[in-house]
Amino acid sequence: MTTADPEQAPARGTTAHPTERVAALRPAYQADLAHGTDRFFHRRRTDCPWCASAALRTRLRTTDLLQHKPGRFTLDTCEDCGHTFQNPQLNAKGLEFYYRDFYDGLGEERLGKTFSARTGVHRKQARSVLPHDPAPRYWLDVGTGHGHFCTTARDVFPSTTFDGLDHSQGVELAERAGRLRRGLRGELPELAPRLAGLYDVVSMLHYLEHTTDPSRELASARQVLRPGGLLLIEVPDPRSRSARLLGRWWLPWLQPQHLHLAPAANLRRRLEALGFTVVLEQHGEAHDPIDLLAAVWLFLDRLAPREDAPWHPGGPPGRLRRVLRPALLLAGAPLLVAAMLLDRLLAPVAGRTGFSNAYRLLARRTT
């Protein structure tokens, strides 16, 4: 290997060794954490953001089980409409802090692999539009990340032009890689006025739950659709029996990223009020059979001493920690396999038994 080519130099950006990258990021994270995590939150709400009812109850208290960044998070449920939401909610500073190095930076490579392995899921999501519009001309995927959904959807709709929108840099990489015609970086409500009426289909797949104001996002989706255009939505189902059964170990709670989890009836009514007609509602078809496997994994990952990360105050892990983690994960392997098999076994009946962890809505803009 030659070091004459600057692209090959190991110290450059993402090509640096993981330990060096973690060490380089540590000072900034420690500075952010020096005054605690309270400054990352808005004030706690006393009313439901969906229906304004004051009848709230605490549904879940948890921590960041994926990145293990410091902080505590609470989800409240509205007794009147069933809307479930993070309360207090992260503010802009908090969102930046907790998203940093998840989809980009340190987390990019890991997640890129996860998402590119989800071709089967993406194909099913795309195919649900087929009976309602076999050949849309322009499709906008909102919250597209690195644009992997569009790559698969293009197999189902070969004549369709795909654009993607996301607030992270992944969308620009996706445009450069040719996965999208246009990679629009920013927030939908801000970009919507100049995209008005341009699209035949808008998809929001596991996107709305990440937004600070889902109703505003739906209104913006209507704005960028032409009359008669279709809006495809998939979100986690807070009414899922798995959510009750697995508690904080239910992956779709995904704290602290998921700010709003709306039951299907709420989303239907809001769409109808905005001038949409819901043409399809699916539960079992949107189920992703990973709940048990993910719960066991999250539990083991918390038990086993963790790998180094720049938000932990200490340095790289010592020898004991480096040996313990793989040993514990190895010991947990049979449990992981059993959970995975059970997930697959139960998947065909998840919709009928109330265990589906997500639902899908397809709505047509009628006015």
State the residues that interact with Zn ion by CB under 5 A. Answer: 48, 50-51, 53, 78, 80-81, 83
**Cβ distance to Zn ion smaller for residue 202 or 218:** 218
Least distance from C-beta 268 to Zn ion, angstroms?
15
- Would you put residue 186 in left (φ > 0), alpha (ψ -120 to 50) or beta? left
What residues have CB less than 8 Å from 348, skipping those under 6 apart?
A: 284
Per the rule left: phi > 0, alpha: psi between -120 and 50, beta: everything else, 278 is beta
Cα atoms in the 13 Å half-sphere on the side-chain side of 123: 7
Residue number with CB closer to Zn ion (73 or 85): 85
78/165 with CB nearer Zn ion: 78
β-strand 358-365 against 276-282: which pairing, if any?
antiparallel
CB atoms within 10 A of CB 52: 10
| CA nearest neighbour of 301 among 2, 7, 68, 32 | 68
DSSP per-residue codes, 102-124: TSSGGGHHHHHHHHHT-HHHHHH
Q: Is the dihedral of CA 178, 182, 186, 188 positive or negative?
A: negative
Least spacing, CB of residue 45 vs Zn ion, in Å = 11
Task: Please state, in angstroms and as integers, the Cα–Cα distance from residue 93 to each residue in 90, 97, 144, 217, following that order.
Answer: 8, 6, 22, 21
Strands lying side by side in the sheet with 72-78 = 56-63, 72-78, 84-86, 260-261
Sheet holding 182-185, edge to edge: 182-185, 161-166, 138-142, 199-205, 225-236, 358-365, 276-282
In sequence order, the 6+-apart residues with CB closer than 8 A to the CB of 129 are 136, 157, 201, 230, 232, 362
Which of residues 179 and 260 has its CB atom nearest to Zn ion in the complex? Answer: 260
Using the minimum distance from each CB to Zn ion, give the nearer residue, 83 or 206. 83
Least Å distance, CB 76 to Zn ion, is: 10
Instruction: Give the nearer residue to Zn ion in terms of CB position, either 51 or 280.
Output: 51
Nearest residue (CB) to Zn ion, 104 versus 213: 213
C-beta closer to Zn ion: residue 265 or 341: 265
Return d(Cα 356, Cα 252) in angstroms, integer.
Answer: 11
Taking the complex as a whole, the smallest distance from the CB of residue 344 to Zn ion amounts, in Å, to 36
**Minimum gap (Å) between residue 269 Cβ and Zn ion:** 12
Taking the complex as a whole, the smallest distance from the CB of residue 82 to Zn ion amounts, in Å, to 7
Nearer to Zn ion, 51 or 279 (CB): 51
Report the Cα–Cα distance between both ends of the chain, in Å, rounded: 62
Query: C-beta of 235: minimal distance to Zn ion in Å?
Result: 16
Contact 341, 227 (CB under 8 A): no
Which residues, 6+ apart, have CB-to-CB distance to 6 below 8 Å? 12
Distance in Å, CB of 323 to Zn ion, minimum:
49
Angle at CA of residue 170, ends 165 and 171, nearest 5°: 30
CB of 54 to Zn ion, least distance (A): 9
* CB nearer Zn ion, residue 154 or residue 270: 270
* Minimum distance from residue 246 beta carbon to Zn ion (Å): 24
